[in-house]
Amino acid sequence: MTKLRKQRRRKIYRHNVNRKRLRNKIYSVGNIACKEIKEAWERTKSVETNLKEMGLSYDPNKTLEIPNTKKEFKASLLSNENDWEETTVEEEPTQPISSKLHVAEALEADAKAPRERRFQLPKGQVEWITYLMKKYGKDYKAMARDKKNYNQETWKQIRQKIRRFRTIPAQYKKYLEENGLQESDSEGDTVSDDEL
């Protein structure tokens, strides 16, 4: 009798549920950000099947399995005890060659492509470094004794920040233009940095 009551309860129409939105939520794949995967995706197939056809991993725990030493040890003990029995060779299942393997190759090529460095120092730090460079030039020990050195950084830490600042072309060129300096002046500075 309880089964009938549960079935009856399940068949009650829920007025507060938007069925169209619910259907779209159930069948949607979600927002796929990767262009290559989005183009090769087939809505009729499951996520696992789609990824397997593209040459990608659905579950990395199964793909790159962590070796279990306890199981290996047991298997080696069993194989040593049963040497007289014929050993069966397990054949690995061959994966069907798919036409969508270009997706994995495109993703791999994109991952290996060189990236543009977008690192920049914060505005406050740039202002402080430029202030020190204008006031003291190359005297890092005097920079460490400056009254605005609130963080009490050593002269080597300040020198390292200035070197980092010089490696960022966008910010350093702006500093050079504001002070009427040229690139050749900055090259001479790097030589003197190494002397310290």
Distance, CA of 169 to CA of 175 (rounded, Å): 10
Judge whether residue 184 has pLDDT over 80: no
Cβ neighbors of 156 (< 8 A, separation 6 or more) are: 140
The one-letter amino acid at 151: N
Give the model's pLDDT for residue 194.
45
Higher pLDDT, 60 or 82: 60
Judge whether residue 188 has pLDDT over 50: no
87 is a domain residue: no
pTM as predicted:
0.47
Judge whether residue 128 has pLDDT over 90: yes
24 is a domain residue: no
Distance, CA of 94 to CA of 52 (rounded, Å): 13
Backbone torsions φ then ψ of 135, nearest 5 degrees: -80, -45
151 is a domain residue: yes
Statement to judge: residues 107 and 168 lie in one domain: no
Domain limits for position 104 = 32-66+98-111
- The mean pLDDT value for 57-78 works out to 88
Distance, CA of 109 to CA of 103 (rounded, Å): 10
Judge whether residue 75 has pLDDT over 60: yes
